Every structure is written in C-alpha cells, then in structure tokens.
C-alpha cells in the first residue's frame, strides 16, 4: 500500500509544480478546432468511454497505436473538461513511444516489468489551448494545419498544464484544490495512460506508466490484480485520416 500512496502523492506534487509557473495569458493562442471531419477519419483512443471520475490537469499523456498503416495524418485531438473555475492555459505535445524495463526498488527487493512511456518529443509548432471559466464538455483541437504524420509505431499525445490566470490575465499561484481545472477520466483495461511524477524532496521529474505501476504495486503488496475501478485513463481521442 505504501508504494501506491507514494505514486499518488508524486503525481499530485507534479500538478502543483506545473500550476505555479508564471506565464502571461496574453501569449496564449486558442487552437480549438475549425477542422471539418471527413467520413474517412477514424477516432482512436478512449474518448467515447463513459466518464465516471475526474482529475486535476497536470501532465497527462496517452498512447495511440497506429493500426492503420502508412500515410495517416493527425486531424484533431479531443478531451473532456469536467469543470473550470479559472482561465486555464494548456499545451499539447507529441512524443515517441519509449519501451523499456522498469525497475522499482522496494525494501530489500526489486520489481522489474516491461513498460512504455513518452520518449523523445516530436517537433511541431506550439499547440496551445485556452479553457475558459465555467467551460465544460468536449474540447476538440485542430491538428490538421500542422501536417503531422502518424508514426508507424504510434505516438503519445500529452495535455500539459501551463498555468491559471485571473480576468486581467495575471497568473494565479495560490489556490485551493477545488479551484483546479479538471478533466474526465474513466475505468480502463489498457496501460496507455502516463503521468508525470517526481522524486520526493527533489525537483527531478519523470514519466510513469500509471496502470503498469499500480499493477506492479498490487502484485508485490497483495499478490493479486487491482480492481477494475482503480485503473483509469483520461477521455482522450485522436482523429486521424488521409492527408
């Protein structure tokens, strides 16, 4: 149980760290989609799964597998806002898939398991989205203008909090947890969701595959699989199609 609690604490710490950055709102560009979907476009991910919970925005990445072959391009990225009390700026970043063996040191033992997380960032122009106070529901972001080809091995799309701002565009650096902008999440059977964690007591951060980590914790601590309600993923979707 200690290992699970620690993981949760690390992720929450990463969220607060991201929220404290001092960035002016007037530098933001709203990239909400003007793209018109084609009948040939395909929606990847778990966007349409019924949402049962929500989580505060932080640095949340989801892996989208390419099961369509070559010549496929990114069209739009979708997510769901549960609530927003303040103006919220987020960036969308793309990463390659990095596969590796995760080693976790626990007491006098080591847990090792195959995992995957965001790797090298895929270069593209800055993609920035503004979430308005009181906004909720679906946000669809136009990616078609960037001419991004879907890698053969798939990719991670990450929604990354930049900061909160008041009505005058000033950065908000102190707030209560109830004031955080939240996105929809849901129970999942996949291991495609990764969050940003930090080493306790340091500024060092790293990606962690949330559900693989939880499964390893349960296997070590309780000798069993976690319940389905514990494994979650954000309601992220990626529309792809021919150029």
**Strand 53-56, strand 137-142: pairing:** unpaired
Q: How far apart are CA 195 and CA 45, in angstroms?
A: 16
Query: What was the pLDDT predicted at 175?
Result: 82
Name which of 181, 77, 89 is nearest 136 in CA terms. Answer: 181
Q: Cα separations (Å) of 116 from 106, 197, 233?
A: 20, 15, 15
Query: What was the pLDDT predicted at 35?
Result: 63
Q: Which value, in Å, is the radius of gyration of the alpha carbons in the chain?
A: 18
What are 192's two structure tokens? Answer: 């495609």
> Helices 2-19 and 210-222 sit at what angle, rounded to 10 degrees?
150
DSSP the chain: -HHHHHHHHHHHHHHHHHHT----GGG----B--PPPPTT-EEEESTTSPP-EEEE-SEEEEEE---S-SSEEEEEEEEEEEE-SSEEEEEEEEEEEEEEEEEEEETTEEEEEEEEEEEEEPP---EEEEE-TT--EEEEEE-GGG-PBPPTT-EEEEEEEEEEE-TTSPEE----GGGS-EEEEEE-S---EEEEEE-TTSS-EEEEEHHHHHHHHHHHHHSSPPPTTT-EEE--EEEEEE-
Q: Cα separations (Å) of 208 from 69, 118, 119, 197, 238?
A: 28, 9, 11, 7, 21
Q: Cβ distance 209 to 190 under 8 Å?
A: no
Can you give the pTM of this predicted structure? 0.84
Query: What was the pLDDT predicted at 61?
Result: 98
Query: What was the pLDDT predicted at 74?
Result: 97
Q: How far apart are CA 109 and CA 220, in angstroms?
A: 10
Name which of 137, 127, 138, 115 is nearest 63 in CA terms. Answer: 115
Q: Specify the number of domains making up the chain.
A: 1
- State which residues form the domain around 135: 2-242
Query: What was the pLDDT predicted at 192?
Result: 98
Q: Cβ distance 236 to 228 under 8 Å?
A: no
What are 226's two structure tokens? Answer: 């976690």
Tens-of-pLDDT digits for all 243 residues of the chain? 333 333 433 333 333 333 333 223 333 344 555 666 676 899 999 999 998 899 999 999 999 999 998 999 999 999 999 999 999 999 999 999 999 999 887 777 888 999 999 999 999 999 999 999 999 999 999 999 999 999 999 999 999 999 999 999 999 988 888 999 999 999 999 999 999 888 888 888 899 999 999 999 898 888 899 998 899 999 999 999 998
Query: What was the pLDDT predicted at 193?
Result: 98
């Amino acid at each position: 149980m200690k290992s699970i609690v620690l993981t949760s604490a690390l992720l929450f710490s990463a969220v607060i760290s991201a929220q404290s950055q001092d960035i002016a709102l007037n530098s933001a560009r709203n990239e909400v989609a003007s793209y018109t979907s084609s009948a040939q476009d395909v929606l990847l991910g778990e966007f349409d799964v019924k949402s049962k919970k929500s989580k505060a925005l932080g640095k949340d990445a989801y892996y989208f597998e390419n099961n369509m072959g070559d010549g496929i391009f990114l069209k739009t990225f979708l997510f769901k806002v549960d609530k927003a009390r303040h103006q919220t700026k987020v960036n969308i970043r793309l990463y390659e898939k990095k596969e590796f063996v995760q080693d976790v040191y626990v007491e006098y033992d080591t847990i090792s398991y195959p995992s995957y997380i965001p790797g090298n960032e895929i270069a593209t122009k800055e993609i920035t989205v503004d979430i308005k106070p009181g906004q909720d529901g679906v946000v669809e972001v136009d990616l078609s203008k960037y001419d991004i080809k879907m890698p053969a091995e798939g990719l991670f799309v990450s929604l990354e909090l930049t900061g909160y701002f008041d009505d005058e565009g000033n950065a908000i650096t102190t707030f209560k947890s109830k004031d955080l902008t939240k996105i929809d999440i849901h129970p999942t059977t996949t291991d495609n969701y990764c969050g940003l964690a930090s080493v306790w007591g340091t500024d060092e951060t790293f990606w962690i595959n949330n559900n693989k980590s939880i499964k390893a914790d349960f296997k070590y601590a309780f000798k069993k699989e976690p319940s389905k309600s514990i494994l979650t993923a954000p309601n992220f979707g990626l529309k792809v199609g021919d150029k």
